[in-house]
Structure 1
Amino acid sequence: MLQMRPLPSVVRFTKILGQVAKLKHYSAVISLYNQMGASGIGPAVYALNIFINCYCHLNQMGFSLSVLGKFFKLGLEPNVFTFNTLINGFLLEN
């Protein structure tokens, strides 16, 4: 999809990230998300929530909190799902 011109919308990329995350390939989602960022595709709130969820499942809460910082840096507003995912990640960690 990154080779297509014009690039598909962020929604299509986010759907793919969500499906890969449902297959529990969390490191693949992180890699794909980083490739999207390198290609200039802007983040969406839903995609960042998926990204946080993947870090939580990989027991890397420090990185998930840095993604929360990215919300604030980009001026995006975290929603209930963002905070719920973080709470679940802290519970998974223990």
Structure 2
Amino acid sequence: MKISGVSTNKVINLYKARNISKTQSKSKVNSKDSLQISELGKSLSSFSIEDNIVPDNKTVEKIKTQIRNGTYKVDTKALSQKIMEMIEGKEI
């Protein structure tokens, strides 16, 4: 049985053309990256390294001297209040 009009070159060219069109359609798909930031992340964005309150050298030296002399007193009420605020989330 002879099928006329169909050669192997035509079949191969048809296959290649179809394969090329598939790869082109895949490359046309625009994939975009996305990023979602949680509420915690958004709240943390308001903080920065520069926000840290760093006492001046004079204050640091004063505290160091008091510690060396044994005269430095910790305000336990203020300390415990700050700890509670941090635990409750008021400072975060």
> What TM-score results when the alignment is normalised by the length of structure 2?
0.21
> What TM-score results when the alignment is normalised by the length of structure 1?
0.21
Larger Rg: 2
Report 1 or 2 for greater relative contact order, CA contacts < 8 Å, sequence distance ≥ 6.
1
**Bigger helix fraction:** 1
